[in-house]
Amino acid sequence: MSVNVEKRTDPPGESDYSTAAWELKEQIRSAEGVLRQRRGFFVDAYRRSTAHLLVENDRLVAFASVRRDGYILFLAVHPDHRGRGYAERLVADVAEDHRSVTCHARTTNRQALGFYEHLGFEVIRRIDDYYEDGGDAYYLKLGSESLRERLSGFVGR
């Protein structure tokens, strides 16, 4: 069976994939206890951002919602599709469009922190009680040293 992964975009104001993105995020939240947001907050943030989407046979398998300043609001990859470089590809797309790429990650989310460190993100600061549930976060920024070359190497561009 041939797998067709297609890149699509929901620009600000459009939400063709917002329901699918919410459902993917909730599946991950339920299984892993991360990506906890209220639906209203998620939908509002999604609609105001640019969503970079990876769709496989018309099914959303990964997405990154990004503000116009390069801040990644949400980054999610379906558990069955991890290890294929989809998250790296999405971050590379964001880096191509923005001078600076930043995000927050829970201080307890070792998987996310390891991923971001692997890509060259650096911890800028720790923020106590950042999340609605009282969880702490790190504010991360992608280092600028040969950024495009590093990300291109990850995704084989």
Encode pLDDT of 59-92 as tens digits: 999 999 999 999 999 999 999 999 999 999 999 9
Higher pLDDT, 22 or 144: 22
**What does pLDDT average to over the chain?**
89
**Span 111-120, average pLDDT:** 93
Q: Could you report the per-residue pLDDT of 17-26, keeping only the tens digit for each? A: 999 999 999 9
- Decide: residue 80, CB within 10 A, 0-12 exposed, 13-18 middle, 19+ buried: exposed
Output the pTM of the full model.
Answer: 0.87
Q: Give the span between the Cα atoms of 135 and 129, in whole angstroms.
A: 5
